[in-house]
A and B are shown apart, each in its own frame.
Chain A
């Protein structure tokens, strides 16, 4: 087997060295890949530049102060005189719903990851992993439609309120981000050095003690990476949340009250407002805000990743 492999590799290497056509192909391929890579970098830069230039127009051209935009809850962009574009309601909505989703999703996802890797790896590999992958592939509009047809009536009939609520949004998002957190947590647990577990068991710790005291603490950076990725997805999700939170422009004072978030107001108003007006600019500023938030999340993930590498 190994001989065969060596022979094949040798053959390939010879071909590389002596066949000028192969060299040309190699060069062609390399330049193609490089061009694609550069294209993506340039595209990203342009995207960031474009959103930034549109996003600061509100403060530059319309004279809205940053504090007013971030802290005011008064959203009346349709008023003819003295329109107001305070985005605090949307920012608070996004934060509250995403955090609620994390609160529901994280314990369940971590428990699932432990079950898949430590308690029952066979079942995990054969059934749970594929099931989680299916969850990732479901389009968000389906989650939203399910939420609207099943979850909203359920909350209305058995818990209270109108059904459209922060709770509904949090639950739908929790379902959407659990695959992210669970699969990253499971990967981290699997990649822990085997001797951690062996040493712990060798010292006489039970399986549960090993999981609780050795494996989980060592996997914390990886699990946190999953949590932040989940949070990033929760923050950016638009359609599914928009369908179940009711989109009332006010800060919810209870879990069963409707509210609205950044992505919902953007998808609802973007197409109907005119480019260059204060209203449209305010939506661009929200887009910029979302971009900045996701940058922060990425930085956070990088730091966590570096920390995780050090533990190993």
Chain B
């Protein structure tokens, strides 16, 4: 008796999948009547910063091309670049240039720049400092300046909230804000999620960190760099240096569905989505890297 129940339950659980499988088949048959479209299935994995945009774009793309399926996974830039180089996925999403990632043979990968993301230096609200020079920023993150009063602020200890050393955001900040200076080891806190960084900086007196523009809100203070504010206009005109591309890498030149999807990512249809999620479309950039 019990065994029968088990089998019955198994069937019951499996039924929706079987049905879904059949349903999929039916749909395919219907769509076949329409004019030729791209079809098949590809996977993109990697950067979690690019993931929301890639997922939404893949959804839109799927609505336009019902026979094609673009699966988007996270995993981090390192995972994305590793997997695309291995051929495990068709697209590897990355926050930084493949050339900058140790252990990747960038020569065999083709870069597709999807959009631009800007970063702001942020500080706790109790910090009255509005502006920092490049040198002051470097001195703070390398541990030479440990009190806000040394840069014209209140008598408050500086608390650095950093990203993990492997993070693309930290790489970008280190390269363009700190001009490559190595941050002192063990200085300050570390967090790998933008939401946690925001909360930590807003709760911790004297905290300083950096965050993608789309995450910044008024619970923290944004600090100007050399008198330039972190705004979209200043980034597109090249006045503000802390920004990076979001990349989609392919192994060799893309073909078929991969090419169609990458073309779609660069098309005007995705532009509103890019802006809505707080990124900057490539076409608005007056400077390039």
Closest Cβ of chain A: how far from B152's Cβ, in Å?
23
Contact with A248, one of B75, B78, B86, B187 (Cβ below 8 angstroms): B187
Interface 9-mer from A102-110, A220-228, A269-277, A297-305: A269-277
Once bound together, how far apart are the Cα atoms of A156 and B189, in whole Å?
A: 14
| Total CB contacts across the A-B interface at under 8 A | 97
Contact (Cβ within 8 A) A276 B3: no
Task: Enumerate chain B residues within 8 angstroms of A162, measured Cβ to Cβ.
Answer: 159, 189, 204
Closest Cβ of chain B: how far from A85's Cβ, in Å?
12
- What per-residue 1/0 map shows which CB atoms of A61-90 lie under 8 Å from chain B? 000000000000001111110000000010
Q: Tell me if A112 counts as interface (CB < 8 A to partner B).
A: no
Once bound together, how far apart are the Cα atoms of A249 and B164, in whole Å?
A: 10
Task: Enumerate chain B residues within 8 angstroms of A76, measured Cβ to Cβ.
Answer: 185
Report the count of interface residues on B (CB-CB < 8 A).
37
Contact (Cβ within 8 A) A271 B189: no
Contact (Cβ within 8 A) B189 A247: yes
Once bound together, how far apart are the Cα atoms of A34 and B213, in whole Å?
A: 55
Q: Tell me if A139 counts as interface (CB < 8 A to partner B).
A: no
- A contact residues, range: 35 or more
Contact (Cβ within 8 A) B199 A269: no
Once bound together, how far apart are the Cα atoms of A199 and B203, in whole Å?
A: 59
Within 8 A of B (CB), among A204-263: 243, 246-250, 258, 260
Q: Tell me if B35 counts as interface (CB < 8 A to partner A).
A: no
Q: Tell me if B167 counts as interface (CB < 8 A to partner A).
A: yes
Q: Tell me if A152 counts as interface (CB < 8 A to partner B).
A: yes
Task: Enumerate chain A residues within 8 angstroms of B76, measured Cβ to Cβ.
Answer: 270-272
Once bound together, how far apart are the Cα atoms of A152 and B167, in whole Å?
A: 24
Once bound together, how far apart are the Cα atoms of A79 and B166, in whole Å?
A: 11
Known: A25-B3, A243-B196. A273 touches B188 (CB 8 A): no
Closest Cβ of chain B: how far from A152's Cβ, in Å?
7
Contact (Cβ within 8 A) A272 B204: no
Contact (Cβ within 8 A) B75 A153: no
Contact with B101, one of A80, A267, A274 (Cβ below 8 angstroms): A274
Task: Enumerate chain A residues within 8 angstroms of B188, measured Cβ to Cβ.
Answer: 248
Q: Tell me if B165 counts as interface (CB < 8 A to partner A).
A: yes
Task: Enumerate chain B residues within 8 angstroms of A28, measured Cβ to Cβ.
Answer: 3
Residue of A nearest to B166 (CB): A272
Q: Tell me if A279 counts as interface (CB < 8 A to partner B).
A: yes
Known: A246-B190, A250-B185, A277-B103. A271 touches B203 (CB 8 A): no
Residue of A nearest to B167 (CB): A272
Within 8 A of A (CB), among B171-208: 182, 185-192, 196, 199-200, 203-204
Contact (Cβ within 8 A) B189 A258: yes
Task: Enumerate chain A residues within 8 angstroms of B196, measured Cβ to Cβ.
Answer: 148, 243
Task: Enumerate chain A residues within 8 angstroms of B101, measured Cβ to Cβ.
Answer: 274
Q: Tell me if A55 counts as interface (CB < 8 A to partner B).
A: no
Contact (Cβ within 8 A) B78 A274: yes
Task: Enumerate chain A residues within 8 angstroms of B167, measured Cβ to Cβ.
Answer: 268, 272
- What per-residue 1/0 map shows which CB atoms of B142-165 lie under 8 Å from chain A? 000000000000000001000011
Once bound together, how far apart are the Cα atoms of A273 and B167, in whole Å?
A: 9
Q: Tell me if B241 counts as interface (CB < 8 A to partner A).
A: no
Contact (Cβ within 8 A) B3 A268: no
Task: Enumerate chain A residues within 8 angstroms of B281, measured Cβ to Cβ.
Answer: none
Task: Enumerate chain A residues within 8 angstroms of B6, measured Cβ to Cβ.
Answer: 29
Contact with A275, one of B82, B166, B182, B190 (Cβ below 8 angstroms): B82
Residue of A nearest to B82 (CB): A275
Task: Enumerate chain A residues within 8 angstroms of B102, measured Cβ to Cβ.
Answer: 80, 274, 277, 279
Contact (Cβ within 8 A) A280 B168: no
Once bound together, how far apart are the Cα atoms of A31 and B6, in whole Å?
A: 14
Closest Cβ of chain B: how far from A73's Cβ, in Å?
9
Task: Enumerate chain B residues within 8 angstroms of A267, measured Cβ to Cβ.
Answer: 192
Known: A152-B203, A273-B78, A277-B102. A268 touches B192 (CB 8 A): yes
Task: Enumerate chain A residues within 8 angstroms of B187, measured Cβ to Cβ.
Answer: 248
Question: Which of A89, A153, A250, A277 has most chain B Cβ within 10 Å?
Answer: A277
Contact (Cβ within 8 A) A269 B82: no
Q: Tell me if B122 counts as interface (CB < 8 A to partner A).
A: no
Once bound together, how far apart are the Cα atoms of A153 and B203, in whole Å?
A: 8
Closest Cβ of chain B: how far from A28's Cβ, in Å?
7
Q: Tell me if A163 counts as interface (CB < 8 A to partner B).
A: yes
Residue of B nearest to A268 (CB): B164
A-contacting residues of B (Cβ < 8 Å)? 3-4, 6, 48, 74-79, 81-82, 86, 101-104, 159, 164-168, 182, 185-192, 196, 199-200, 203-204
Instruction: Give 13 A-B contacts (CB < 8 Å), ordered by A residue.
Output: A75-B185, A79-B182, A149-B199, A162-B189, A247-B190, A248-B188, A268-B167, A271-B75, A272-B77, A273-B166, A274-B82, A274-B101, A279-B102
**16 other contacts beyond A265-B164, A268-B166, A272-B168, with CB at 8 A cut-off?**
A25-B3, A25-B4, A79-B182, A152-B203, A156-B203, A163-B204, A164-B189, A246-B189, A248-B188, A269-B164, A269-B166, A272-B78, A273-B166, A275-B78, A276-B103, A277-B102
